[in-house]
């Protein structure tokens, strides 16, 4: 049975002190969640160690928003998977559209990052999604299929046990425009089929596929009711503990 997961991507928001307060509030609110729902927060790098301390004893897991594509060495400004592990992370987000768009993150680089993350024992939340031009050209299925194939087809069914996919249409991120439940569901079903073609039906059925893009308490229920939507990757609404937990209570 695949897991229901709600993950909060804080992006470049909050300072260390505010981030730790937010993590404590999330941990407190998370007590209301049923046992089967996984909750993850992804603060900025600087906050990770402090947030991991604040989350101790809670059911909230910790994710980074990115990792380096090298193990260690002369890569100024980069943060390795070993550093993330030692800061208390269980997960890292990879391939977020903002990293693809602003920092030249390619599928080839993502293969390296996913490999390093898995080798370090981190789970991966791999983001895929089309931009507005691609959607308007009717290429959304092809774009998501290619991104999945380019990255995940380099891994095994065993590796997939530690990989979660997040479908995030770029035109819906931070814009207030949510994909309709039907638009999201048809891409999620397509992603599951692409996974099934390579890894078989059992692995595909067991993989959690999250929706991201202006997901909030008012629309989470309808999205999460879709058969192939297993939760959400939440940006803006994850910065308020109550909204974040309300989303996680929407299954
Ligand atoms: C995101 O960037 O992962 C995201 C889903 O952002 P938002 O919820 O703010 O659209």
Cβ of 236 below 6 Å from ligand 1:
yes
pLDDT above 90 (res 108) = yes
For residues 82-103, average pLDDT: 98
pLDDT above 90 (res 205) = yes
Per-residue pLDDT tens for 47-64? 999 999 999 999 999 999
Q: For position 91, what pLDDT does the model report?
A: 99
Q: Quick one: residue 231, left, alpha or beta (phi over 0 = left, psi -120 to 50 = alpha)?
A: left
Q: For position 206, what pLDDT does the model report?
A: 98
pLDDT above 90 (res 167) = yes
Q: Tell me which residues are annotated as active site.
A: 96, 168
Cβ of 234 below 6 Å from ligand 1:
yes
Q: For position 12, what pLDDT does the model report?
A: 98
Q: How far does residue 74's CA lie from ligand 1's centre (Å)?
A: 32
Looking at the DSSP assignment, which residues form a beta bridge with residue 122? none
Closest residue to atom 6 of ligand 1, CA basis? 235
Instruction: Quote the percentage of the chain above a pLDDT of 90.
Output: 98
Q: Which atom of ligand 1 is nearest to the CA of 236?
A: 9
Per-residue pLDDT tens for 116-137? 999 999 999 999 999 999 999 9
Q: For position 37, what pLDDT does the model report?
A: 97
Average pLDDT score, the chain: 98
Per-residue pLDDT tens for 188-202? 999 999 999 999 999
Q: For position 90, what pLDDT does the model report?
A: 98
Question: Given pLDDT bands bounded at 50, 70 and 90, which one contains residue 26?
Answer: very high
Q: For position 1, what pLDDT does the model report?
A: 86
Question: Given pLDDT bands bounded at 50, 70 and 90, which one contains residue 187?
Answer: very high
Separation of alpha carbons 177 and 180, rounded Å: 9
Q: How far does residue 48's CA lie from ligand 1's centre (Å)?
A: 20
Q: For position 227, what pLDDT does the model report?
A: 98
pLDDT above 90 (res 89) = yes
Q: How far does residue 235's CA lie from ligand 1's centre (Å)?
A: 3
Cβ of 235 below 6 Å from ligand 1:
yes
Closest residue to atom 4 of ligand 1, CA basis? 235
Cβ of 215 below 6 Å from ligand 1:
yes
Q: How far does residue 211's CA lie from ligand 1's centre (Å)?
A: 9
Q: How far does residue 212's CA lie from ligand 1's centre (Å)?
A: 6
Cβ of 214 below 6 Å from ligand 1:
yes
């Amino acid at each position: 049975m695949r897991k229901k997961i709600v993950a909060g991507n804080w992006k470049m928001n909050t300072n260390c002190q505010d981030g730790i307060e937010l993590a404590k509030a999330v941990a407190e609110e998370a007590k209301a969640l049923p046992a089967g729902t996984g909750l993850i927060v992804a603060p900025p790098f600087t906050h990770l160690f402090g947030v991991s301390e604040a989350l101790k004893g809670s059911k909230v897991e910790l994710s980074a928003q990115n990792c380096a594509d090298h193990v260690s060495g002369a890569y100024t400004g980069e943060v390795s998977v070993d550093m993330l592990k030692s800061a208390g992370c269980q997960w890292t987000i990879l391939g977020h559209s903002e990293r693809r768009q602003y920092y030249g993150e390619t599928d080839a680089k993502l293969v390296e990052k996913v490999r390093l993350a898995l080798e370090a024992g981190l789970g991966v939340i791999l983001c895929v999604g089309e931009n507005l031009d691609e959607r308007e050209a009717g290429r959304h299925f092809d774009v998501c299929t290619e991104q999945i194939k380019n990255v995940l087809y380099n891994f095994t069914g065993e590796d997939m046990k530690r990989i979660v996919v997040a479908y995030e249409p770029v035109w819906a991120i931070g814009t207030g425009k949510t994909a309709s439940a039907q638009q999201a569901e048809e891409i999620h079903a397509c992603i599951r089929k692409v996974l099934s073609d390579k890894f078989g039906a059992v692995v595909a059925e067991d993989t959690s596929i999250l929706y991201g893009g202006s997901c909030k308490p008012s629309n989470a229920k309808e999205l999460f009711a879709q058969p192939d939507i297993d939760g959400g990757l939440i940006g803006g609404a994850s910065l308020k503990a109550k909204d974040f937990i309300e989303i996680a209570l929407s299954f």
